[in-house]
Amino acid sequence: MAIKAGEKMPSGTFSIMTESGPGAMTTDELFAGKKVVLVSVPGAFTPTCSMNHLPGFVEHADDIRSKGVDTIACMAVNDVFVMNAWGKDRGVKDDVVMLADGNGEYATALGLTMDASGFGMGTRGQRFAIVVDDGVATHVAVEAPGKFEVSKAEAILAQL
């Protein structure tokens, strides 16, 4: 069952790249006492994700933060090294926290996985954006297959 607005975000841990190498970030560290936009993409370096989805959040980061958002985070079912390289490639700097959900455990906990085995990618997280206020989902925007409308930065900005 997919998470819905008004529900508490599940507990979990992401891999992140730190100055000293791979590290971890818990959902408590990410969400507690903060307003967060959590964006999920099916895969780093894939066309829509690289050319539109992530860049939109980088481009609109200041506008999103001006609406009271403390953190913009992007997760994908990729390893921490890929997420770090992708963030550098897309120029995210400190605008977006890059979260690796390497085994898809958090996407599964959210009930938002998809079967991308037809593309040789196995189980992935769906394309979505969730606005989280102190650990509670306040807006959940999940894309229909093949679409890029409700989870893009401009749509989320309009919801804030």
Between CA 2 and CA 110 the distance in angstroms is: 6
Structure token digits, residue 139:
């807006």
Catalytic hit among 9, 30, 49, 100: 49
Active site residue 74: no
Alpha helices in the chain (DSSP H): 27-31, 47-48, 54-59, 61-65, 80-89, 105-110, 153-159
Between CA 51 and CA 158 the distance in angstroms is: 21
Residue 110, number of CB atoms within 10 A of its CB: 26
DSSP string of 129-146, one letter each residue? EEEEETTEEEEEEEPPTT
Active site residues: 49
